[in-house]
Structure 1
């Protein structure tokens, strides 16, 4: 074998090796792209789920807020009724005190 033949053979082997390395790089790049796209799809699905959950929670919070507002109005009404009842109880106590005083006065005037 001549040096020319050995050089050509070496060049061919190096060229084939470079072609193989480039093919391996292309396969690795394609695999990486597929993985990235898969992650992107999973992120989109997760984002859709999170969006749905947030919307559901917003609706529930709005409903709860309405119920709390209604409950607050009812508590305010009840507080007003209790205040009114307290005033009536005070009036009733005053009336009972007056009636008791009248009865005591009547008993004193009656002969024993």
Structure 2
């Protein structure tokens, strides 16, 4: 075998190896993209669940806030009644 044949053969083997490596890189890139897409879908699902739970918490907080306001109003009204009773007692 001549140097020319050996050089051509080595060149062809290197070319084939580079083609294989590039094909593997492409395949790995596609797998990585699929995994990233899967993670993105999971994140979107978690985000939707989080948003729903935050909405539920906001609703519960609003109801609690309304109840506290009602209790404060009742407390204020009771205090006025007690003050009025105390005044009547003080007058007698």
Q: Give the TM-score taking structure 1 as reference length.
A: 0.76
Q: Distance in 2 between matches of 1:87 and 1:3?
A: 120
Shift of 1:4: 2.3
Q: 4+ residue stretches of structure 1 with deviation over 6 A?
A: none
Q: Please give the residue correspondences for 1:50-89 in structure 2 after superposition, counting only pairs within 5 Å.
A: 50-89=50-89
Which residue of structure 2 aligns with residue 14 of structure 1?
14
Q: Which of the pair has more CA radius of gyration?
A: 1
Q: Give the TM-score taking structure 2 as reference length.
A: 0.92
Which residue of structure 1 aligns with residue 4 of structure 2?
4
Q: Considering only aligned residues, what root-mean-square deviation do their CA atoms show, in Å? A: 1.1
Gaps of 5+ in 2: none
Gaps of 5+ in 1: 95-112
Query: Alignment length, in residue pairs?
Result: 92
Shift of 1:19: 0.6
Q: Distance in 2 between matches of 1:85 and 1:27?
A: 86
Q: Distance in 2 between matches of 1:41 and 1:31?
A: 15
Q: Distance in 2 between matches of 1:45 and 1:65?
A: 30
